Structure 1
Amino acid sequence: MSKQPTIVFCHGIWADGSCFSKVIPALHADGHEVISVQYGLDSFEEDVATVKRTLNRVGSPVLLVGHSYGGATITAAGVDERVVGLVYIAAVAPDAGETVQDQLDKFPSDIFSRVEVADGRAWMLPNGTEFFAGDLSDEDQKLVWATHYPPVFDLFHQQKLGADDIAWRSKPSWYVLATQDHTVHPDLQRWVSGRMGATVTEVASSHVPMLSQPAVVIDVIRKAAAAVREASPQKKVAIV
């Protein structure tokens, strides 16, 4: 493979595609086609369908990049033959029959004490940003809260993927592990990245390293893009 892969970003909850705004320009400068998916956090099925529709709008091969809950969407959508690699950023990564909530329950984190459910959606309270983006400035944390987008309250209970729907079992993967994360527990990140056999880069960051330490995230994406460009992806041995 010699063609530069297209980079497709998938966001988490309390966010939209603009959360990758600090890393996209550098990838554009490298010559990548880049798009950040805008899904509605109304249902996992529809969010994955939106990722797949986005794949129809860009060139292939594709490197999928998922932050937080976005790790679940790239796990499902990444089985598409146009996808050649996966990058997870402080993300969950369900296996067959496993929901995001199943994973979060294994390693509880602090953020969910700062959440309220109203009008069928899970809203982050203003003081929740310290657990979500605590290494950003106060001004930037206020901006994160002012623009945060809440998911439907049961979104994390909806993922029930089949054995053939798990992209990290057959595609190469990279993982940015945020060691100061109070949203997706660092021990959960270690567990999922180890299970998938990902190439791991640790960063002393909150849950949003693409905002607080974008240079690290850019470097990992560049390495992943170079790896998938140099060789056709190999089928990975099933992890049991």
Structure 2
Amino acid sequence: MSRSDSPTVVLVHGAFADASSFARVIPGLIARGLDVVAPAVPNRSLLGDSAYIASVVRQIPGPVVLVGHSYGGAVITVAGVEDNVRGLVYLAGYALEEGESLGELQGGFPDSDLAAALVHTSFPIEGSAAPGTEVSVQIEKFPSLFAADVDPRLASVLAVSQRPLAAQTFSEKAPKAAWKTKRSWGVVATADRTINPDVERYGYQRAGMTTVEVDSSHLVMLAHPERVIQLIEEAVRATAAD
């Protein structure tokens, strides 16, 4: 498979994180000769974030494999309907059904430990007199809930550099579900304390994904980068042959 024939890998981070959460995956993908893009997701609305990632995808010449972690899974579910997207990879992520919200998918299962550790703060919305509300994780609880098997020094940095998620995101419904028409793969993080692993399993099974389970915290791409790289490479090879 030549580099020119290979899909570009677009890495979409989730809530409470940024593109640096793929720092241990990106070098491995590049070493395998893959083109990689890791954009910053605004984390302000599911529809707006999906539209932004879709705009990034449209400007990439050739095919794309979208990789979404956590909330990024919801984003790629919507953005993945772009014509040049060949495959979807979910990392401890939300695979929404068309017309379903994050809150609705999570509501069918017991809460994870994260629910009791969320912090709500306000932020200004340009052109609006009323502020918006965003959600983050209590700094002292972030390492154990999000990154229990990540280097504690790195986890402490991640805890104080969170990218919050606007609260409205939990109630917005996905207008499309790309997994209905695109091949998809999913990683269940079985030791996840941020998303109930059964939420991940349910979404993946419903979508008919190729699924693997990894004994990992929520940040599976930092805790087990080689396993994540292998799965992304599998998706790249499979979709390059399409």
State the TM-score, normalized to the length of structure 2: 0.91
Equivalent position SS for 2:179:
helix
**CA-to-aligned-CA distance 1:199-222 (integer Å, 9 cap, x gap):** 111100000110111011001001
- Partner residue of 2:152 out of 114, 138, 143: 138
Q: Which residue of 1 aligns with 2:40?
A: 38
> Do 1:100 and 1:157's aligned partners in 2 also have CA atoms closer than 8 Å?
yes
- Partner residue of 2:115 out of 105, 112, 115: 112
Q: Distance in 1 between matches of 2:163 and 2:102?
A: 18
Give the number of equivalent residue pairs: 228
1:44 CA drift (Å) = 1.4
1:45 CA drift (Å) = 1.6
Segment drifting more, 114-123 vs 52-61? 52-61
- Partner residue of 1:192 out of 187, 200, 203: 203
Q: Which residue of 1 aligns with 2:96?
A: 94
Equivalent position SS for 2:165:
coil
- Partner residue of 2:161 out of 122, 147, 161: 147
> Do 2:46 and 2:174's aligned partners in 1 also have CA atoms closer than 8 Å?
no
- For structure 2, which runs of at least 5 residues remain unmatched after alignment? 123-132
Q: Distance in 1 between matches of 2:152 and 2:209?
A: 33
1:174 CA drift (Å) = 0.5
1:59 CA drift (Å) = 2.4
1:106 CA drift (Å) = 1.6
Q: Please, what is the CA RMSD of the aligned residues?
A: 1.3
1:118 CA drift (Å) = 1.2
Q: Distance in 1 between matches of 2:103 and 2:22?
A: 24
Instruction: State the one-letter code of the partner of 1:12.
Output: G
> Do 1:37 and 1:50's aligned partners in 2 also have CA atoms closer than 8 Å?
no
Equivalent position SS for 2:11:
strand
Equivalent pairs: percent with the same residue?
36
Q: Distance in 1 between matches of 2:151 and 2:23?
A: 17
State the TM-score, normalized to the length of structure 1: 0.91
**CA 1:169/1:18 → structure 2, altered by over 3 Å: closer, same or farther?**
same
Q: Which residue of 2 aligns with 1:78?
A: 80
Instruction: State the one-letter code of the partner of 1:125.
Output: Q
Q: Which residue of 1 aligns with 2:129?
A: none
Instruction: State the one-letter code of the partner of 2:31.
Output: A
1:117 CA drift (Å) = 0.5
1:111 CA drift (Å) = 0.6
Q: Which residue of 2 aligns with 1:210?
A: 221
- In the alignment, structure 1 residue 67 sits paired with structure 2 residue 78: no
- For structure 1, which runs of at least 5 residues remain unmatched after alignment? 233-240
Q: Which residue of 1 aligns with 2:125?
A: none
Q: Which residue of 2 aligns with 1:4?
A: 6
- In the alignment, structure 1 residue 122 sits paired with structure 2 residue 171: no
1:127 CA drift (Å) = 2.8
Displaced runs of 4 or more, over 3 A: none
> Do 2:216 and 2:223's aligned partners in 1 also have CA atoms closer than 8 Å?
yes
